[in-house]
Copies of this chain bind each other. A is one copy, B any other.
């Protein structure tokens, strides 16, 4: 199956990777769930890791992508800022554009891979 072979394209920004596929997915999950911990559970990663990723993003950009609140109803939560939404949207657009631009070559390339990964 060539289905399992997933040619992936990663756009990495900044020295310690301000944005990448993983962080983009996390941002999505935070936006959807409204909290870092829920996003972490959903993505099956430790809260610590999720928080660290969010922190890296917040510090890497000019302005925070995620704003958090302690206490209150539900114990608090997190939301993706308008700026964060713009960043995410732009990143997704870049991903699509880049992927589309090399789609043909990508298919060609997978043809050169061995049948069985093992």
Give the shortest distance, in Å, between A65 (CB) and chain B (any CB). Answer: 10
Specify which of B5, B94, B105 is in contact with A14 (CB 8 Å cutoff).
B5
B94 x A106 contact (CB < 8 A): yes
Residue pair A114, B9 in contact (C-beta under 8 Å): no
Contact of A41 with B by CB under 8 A: no
Given A97-B102, A102-B97, also A113-B5 (CB < 8 A): no
Give the interface of A toward B (CB within 8 A): 4-16, 18-19, 59-62, 87, 90-91, 93-94, 97-102, 105-106, 108-110, 112-115, 117
Closest 5 A-B residue pairs measured CB to CB? A101-B101, A10-B10, A98-B98, A8-B12, A94-B105
